[in-house]
Amino acid sequence: MEATSPKIFSVPNLLSFLRLILVPVLIWIALEGLANYFLMVLGVSLISDMLDGYLARKLDQVSELGAKLDSWADTLTYASMIFGLYQIWPTIFSDQALFLLSATLSFLVPLIASAIKFGEYPSYHTLGAKIAALLIAPAYYLLILVDADTWFRLVILFYLLVASEEVAITIILKKPETNIVSVWSLIRRFSNQTSSR
């Protein structure tokens, strides 16, 4: 999807800025051990994450800046979720340590691959990444509220698949791009370009 709006203060960008502002708030709440407030503020952040992409498309305000802001807000929000588990729910953190390490790697490895090749943060927003983002919120809340760890672990495994796809996209691309549906759509695009020459 091509970027159509260079506006910095579009509605979707403001929602991403809100999520970035909420990250230190979440860290502070976690340090204070305020579990209910942490879950409420996190809920606001996760809902705004669902809205920003939808509104960007609906209001025709998709932009490269917006894609990058969204990616940074995602990563920092997920980091604060892990920190919240560590600080407020240490037993859950301990029980899920291997999966939390996997979740961390699913963000770090694509970032490192893109930083090495392009010198910037990847903002692919693949279909898989969008599905994973929708799944992580209920998985996180179910893990904390009712100790349902199977769903959480499956979502983390799905994130590892998404990370693998993002690394493959980085390998295939010759220059950085945003908003790529999937590695298969990218391969099809390149094969169509090659066959039309």
- Residue 56 confidence (pLDDT): 76
Q: What token pair was written down for 75?
A: 């990563």
- Residue 4 confidence (pLDDT): 43
Rounded distance between C-alpha atoms, residue 38 and residue 169, angstroms: 35
Name the residue with tokens 């996190």: 42
Tell the burial category of 121 from Cβ atoms under 10 Å away from its Cβ (0-12, 13-18, 19+). Answer: middle
> For residue 83, how far is the Cα from the chain centroid?
16
Query: Domains of the chain, with CATH numbers?
Result: 11-195 (1.20.120)
Model confidence pTM above 0.75: yes
Tell the burial category of 124 from Cβ atoms under 10 Å away from its Cβ (0-12, 13-18, 19+). Answer: buried
H or E element at residue 7: none
Rounded distance between C-alpha atoms, residue 90 and residue 187, angstroms: 43
Each residue's pLDDT, cut to its tens digit, for the chain (197 residues) gives: 444 445 778 888 889 999 999 999 999 999 999 999 999 999 999 999 888 877 877 878 778 888 888 889 999 999 999 999 999 999 999 999 999 999 999 999 999 999 999 998 888 989 999 899 999 999 999 999 999 999 999 999 999 999 999 999 999 999 999 889 999 999 998 888 776 66
Q: What is the dihedral of CA 144, 148, 153, 155, to 10 degrees?
A: -80
Q: What token pair was written down for 100?
A: 């939390």
- Residue 121 confidence (pLDDT): 85
- Residue 84 confidence (pLDDT): 98
User: How many Cβ atoms from other residues are within 10 Å of residue 126's Cβ?
Assistant: 21
- Residue 6 confidence (pLDDT): 54
- Residue 196 confidence (pLDDT): 66
